[in-house]
Amino acid sequence: MKKISIIGISGKLGQHLAREALKMGYEVTGVCREQSVHKLGNLVDKVTIFPGDTNNPDVVRKAVQSSDGVLTVLVPWGLKHYSSGTARAVLEHSQPNARLIFSCGWHVPGHPEDHYSHTQLLLHKTITKTMRTLRIMDIDDQIHAARLIQKSKSMWTLVRASTLEEGPSQGMPVWAENVGHPKLRSDRTRRIDYAKFMLSTLTQDQFMRKSPAIVGCLSESALAYEQDSTMREEK
């Protein structure tokens, strides 16, 4: 795998993806809105940018036409199906054998054993309603995008992140198949480590057509789960 595309490259996660991909030796193309290109700073000289909305099929087609992998930041801006439109454009125009990696949050269903606390459900409902009322974003459209992805026959992976925070890398996040797993309880992941995990799945078949949920490797719950596992193995 030599060439990748990053759909939504100008945001915080997209820029982390670009920097880490360049370190790994990938040739990088990217899509972002024309008014956001300036956010890339010196990355502009290191990647090939296709300016336009990420849900614009023509722009996406040009960006991904020869890419071995496509990493897509699904952000549900506005109320015009931005996430699902982006997912559809990537699914329809990527190369048949390309690895497609998508980002989303824990609120997106991805496993039959997903479990959400009453607090999580109430918070999701409140935020979703508020964002729609303010016409800022439609969080449920990310769920619709995920359904399109999960029904696809493409070689996709949907990486479901916990609450993200800034800071230096702590190492590769730990993952579980289902939300609600004890190791995920801390609900914190460094954004840069989220990017590293997404990039790592490009070449890991174990995540093919899977929706892993992740948390920081140094989070309290991840460390506690690892310690408990070690103690069980020693008995």
Q: How do residues 131-170 score in pLDDT, each as one tens digit?
A: 989 989 999 999 999 999 999 999 999 999 999 999 999 9
Which residues have a Cβ under 8 Å from the Cβ of 39 and sit 6 or more positions away?
10, 11, 15, 32
Which residues have a Cβ under 8 Å from the Cβ of 147 and sit 6 or more positions away?
none
How large is the average pLDDT for residues 3-27?
98
Asked if pLDDT for residue 22 goes beyond 90, the answer is yes
What angle separates helix 82-93 from helix 139-151, to the nearest 10 degrees? 20
In tens, the pLDDT along 169-222 reads 999 999 999 999 999 999 999 999 999 999 999 999 999 999 999 999 999 999
Among positive and negative, which fits the CA dihedral 175, 149, 103, 78? negative
User: What confidence score (pLDDT) does residue 95 get?
Assistant: 96
Overall pTM > 0.75 = yes
HEC secondary structure over 16-84: HHHHHHHHCCCEEEEEECHHHHHHHHHHHHCCEEEECCCCCHHHHHHHHCCCCEEEEECCCEECCCHHH
The CATH number of the domain holding residue 64 is 3.40.50.720
Determine which helix (DSSP H) or strand (DSSP E) holds 102, and give its type and residue range: strand 99-105
pLDDT band at 235 (very low <50, low <70, confident <90, very high): low
Asked if pLDDT for residue 234 goes beyond 90, the answer is no
Asked if pLDDT for residue 57 goes beyond 80, the answer is yes
* Domain span including residue 177: 3-234
Only one residue has tokens 């459900």, namely: 121
How large is the average pLDDT for residues 103-123?
95
Separation of alpha carbons 64 and 34, rounded Å: 17
Determine which helix (DSSP H) or strand (DSSP E) holds 201, and give its type and residue range: none
How large is the average pLDDT for residues 92-101?
97
- Structurally, the chain folds into a number of domains equal to 1
User: What confidence score (pLDDT) does residue 232 get?
Assistant: 65
User: What confidence score (pLDDT) does residue 73 get?
Assistant: 97
Return the structure tokens found at 147. Answer: 């359904």
